[in-house]
Structure 1
Amino acid sequence: MDAGAQRGAFTVADARTRGISRRRRDRAELERPFYGVRAEPRPVRAEVHLLARERAAIVEAALRFSVRMNDGGCFSHTTAALLWDLPLPVLADTRIHVSTPGRAPRAAGTVGHQIRPDLVTVVRHPHFGIPVSDPATTWAMLAPMISAYDLIAVGDALVRSPRVAGPFGHVISPAQADLEELRRAARSGRRLGADVLREALERIRTGVASRPETWARLLLVDGGLPEPVTDHDVYGAAGEFLGCVDLAYPQLRIAIEYEGDQHRTDSAQWQRDLEKHERLMDAGWRVIRVARDQLFRYPLQYVDRVRVALSTRR
């Protein structure tokens, strides 16, 4: 059964074919997310963080639209990125993106694209079961839609293999794509933003766990500072594991840690962070902690903090 149908969405045409009466298919409590589509109401929890709430609403809209998707069509661009759970900024336009090899689809609440087959690889999403542009193609499609830093952040997320840190660490899950797949997607056909894609490819790194960590790294490099190491395991003088840090200058024993909301709201995470930072400082490391506002609103101050730390350590 189609994923949209499993979630209570159906087309009027299909309901008519199955003999469902007009009274039942047009009852008042059903929502009408798209022309010719009816769906059971699914409220998004208000307490969910804005980005998570936005993603949930767009994914839900895609699943509902999937019941009327044309043959050969797929979800693409920012919609595909959210289906793949890739890190995007808050979107100004929350319409869903649909691409087809034929005439661009037109429906309220959607952005239709007519795309050449050689510019997109369509796969069935492993969780949602709906047609979607594959991760590498999705990344290439985003070039004209988001900033260069965010394009690199999406690339960082795609090539990352989440792992357990430390001497007995192991990879938890494989990366969604590798650099060669991104390179092929960038070079296939005439893409919008081809120059931006080429530049982004040179700046993508493995081991970056979040969009803010990408920004933290790029701001330092563009501020004229050496590029820090990502996802760095730190060991003490006796070989004991002290912890893994987001960014590091190992020779100078400087660590940069991004403190997201979960570090503040999760008491267990907060305690682990405190203990790790104490171990690092006891071993002679300088730990620079940066929060969201410091990174996105006052980036020059953040870069200056790291610059001073580097100069004093040298």
Structure 2
Amino acid sequence: MGHHAPLLLLDVVRAGGLLVTSPAWTWRDLAALLSPDELVAAGDSLLRRRDAPNRGGYLSQPDPLCGMQELQEVLQRRAGNRGASTARTALELMRPGADSAQETRLRLLIRRSGLPEPAVNQWIIGPAGQRVSRPDLQYVRLRIALEYEGEHHLLDPDQWHRDIARDDGLRRLGWVVLRFSKKHLRPGNQAAAAEKVRAALLTRGWRPGQPA
């Protein structure tokens, strides 16, 4: 069933030859349908970095599809609509830079486990000033990198080779590299995945209650 909404010009964009609601407005609509974690993942997808991998499909807009300010503005205008509480909760947990929903889910799992929140997709610079790697998540001071390995990494031999070289380069610089797959994010495996991160943090000198 359709519904009427007081749209402004900035709330409408063209995609695939059709007029559709803007990314920010659509995200706010989804707040009435999705769980907080799902809405965070959807929001992180809007905030991807400018040089993120190509999305494909008919969406011609470059990343990021919108900014935090646009999302906050739409949320304020629609504060009385269904899903407002979910949207406010999700907005506080969203972070720019994630490449995939699974990276977001891993970050939320770490946070929910009482561990320090890692940084998202930041370049690691080598001793000669060269860019070495940009892990999905990382603890910069402790030199811990976390990589989520999607299935395409295993199916593409060239990508798999690059991943191995990437991790070898980080280890030569003294970094610990933790790798995760979709099985780590399943309910029965989440506690072990969080413990994997906790153990690495403790090994590097972190103590509960301290920043990482």
Q: Same fold (TM over 0.5)?
A: yes
| Partners of 2:77 and 2:180 in 1: CA distance | 39
Matched, 1:280 2:170: yes
Maintained 8 Å contact 1:121/1:137 = no
TM superposition shift of 1:247:
0.2
The aligned residue for residue 157 of structure 1 is 45
TM superposition shift of 1:239:
2.6
RMSD: 2.1
| Partners of 1:240 and 1:130 in 2: CA distance | 43
Unaligned runs of at least 5 residues, structure 1: 1-111, 165-171
| Partners of 1:179 and 1:218 in 2: CA distance | 18
The aligned residue for residue 21 of structure 2 is 133
The aligned residue for residue 148 of structure 1 is 36
The aligned residue for residue 124 of structure 2 is 234
The aligned residue for residue 182 of structure 1 is 71
The aligned residue for residue 107 of structure 1 is none
Structure 1's 201 and 122: CA in aligned 2 closer, same or farther, altered over 3 A? closer
Amino acid at match of 2:24: A
| Partners of 1:308 and 1:124 in 2: CA distance | 46
- TM-score (norm. length: structure 2): 0.86
Matched, 1:300 2:191: yes
Amino acid at match of 2:18: I
Amino acid at match of 1:283: L
Matched, 1:257 2:147: yes
1:144-190 residue CA offsets vs partner (Å, 9 max, x unmatched):
211211101111111223327xxxxxxx9441111111112112232
- TM-score (norm. length: structure 1): 0.59
1:1-314 paired onto structure 2 within 5 Å: 112-118=1-7, 123-126=12-15, 128-163=16-51, 173-189=62-78, 190-297=80-187, 298-314=189-205
Higher relative contact order (CA 8 A, sep 6+): 2
The number of residues matched between the two structures is 196
Maintained 8 Å contact 1:157/1:209 = yes
TM superposition shift of 1:125:
2.4
Maintained 8 Å contact 2:40/2:93 = yes
TM superposition shift of 1:224:
0.4
TM superposition shift of 1:296:
2.8
1:204-254 residue CA offsets vs partner (Å, 9 max, x unmatched):
111111000111111111110111010021122333322111000011000
Identity of aligned residues (%): 36
| Partners of 1:300 and 1:253 in 2: CA distance | 22
Structure 1's 182 and 124: CA in aligned 2 closer, same or farther, altered over 3 A? closer
| Partners of 1:301 and 1:243 in 2: CA distance | 26
Structure 1's 290 and 122: CA in aligned 2 closer, same or farther, altered over 3 A? same
Q: Secondary structure at the match of 1:269?
A: helix
Runs of 4+ displaced beyond 6 Å = none
1:253-309 residue CA offsets vs partner (Å, 9 max, x unmatched):
000000001101111111100000011111111000000011234111111100000
Rg bigger for which structure?
1
Q: Secondary structure at the match of 1:125?
A: strand
Unaligned runs of at least 5 residues, structure 2: 53-60, 206-212
TM superposition shift of 1:195:
1.0
| Partners of 2:8 and 2:38 in 1: CA distance | 21
Amino acid at match of 1:158: L
